[in-house]
Amino acid sequence: MTKKIISILLLVCVLFTVTACFGGPTTLNYKYKDADIHETLSDDTTARLKAMFDSKQRYDNKPKSEFDDNVSISIGGRLYDIALNGDTKVKDVAVNKYFNITDEELKEISDIFAKYNAQVPCY
């Protein structure tokens, strides 16, 4: 009986840890000037963004671009800041590194923000 209880508790702990670290919805965050937008994105959009972001090589050197957690996308609890000025750069906040995106990928991200009346680039 004790082994069953321990096994169940262990399973619950593992599930909680996995969910806390990797689970959760994909959200668009846009708190800029008078706008305060937080939207959950679809599974299809999540898959496209995840594939886009996961395929990129990260680097340490901070670009001249400006980043802010208030203009970001969160995928499973991992935050990605989008460059505010329209540069093709994204900051992976979890590891404090940066990666490049193409002009086409920036357009796709801008279109996702525009769907919720949020403007990227911000200025």
Range of the domain at 101: 24-115
Q: Where are the alpha helices (DSSP H) in 1-123?
A: 2-22, 43-54, 103-115
Does a structural domain hold residue 14? no
Residues 6+ apart with CB under 8 A from 1: none
CA Rg, the chain, in Å? 17
Looking at the domain assignment, is residue 4 inside a domain?
no
For residue 50, give the nearest of 108, 122, 114, 97 by alpha carbon: 108
At residue 94, the 3 state secondary structure works out as coil
Confidence (pTM): 0.79
Domain assignment of residue 18, yes or no: no
Summarize pLDDT for 42-98 with one digit per residue, the tens.
999 999 999 999 999 999 999 999 999 999 999 999 999 999 999 999 999 999 999
CB 86 within 8 A of CB 76: no
Residue 98, domain member (yes or no)? yes
How many domains does the chain divide into? Answer: 1
User: Does the residue 32 lie in any domain?
Assistant: yes
Q: Is residue 106 part of a domain?
A: yes
Residue 15 falls within a domain, yes or no? no
In a domain, residue 7? The reply is no
Q: Is the pLDDT of residue 17 over 90?
A: no
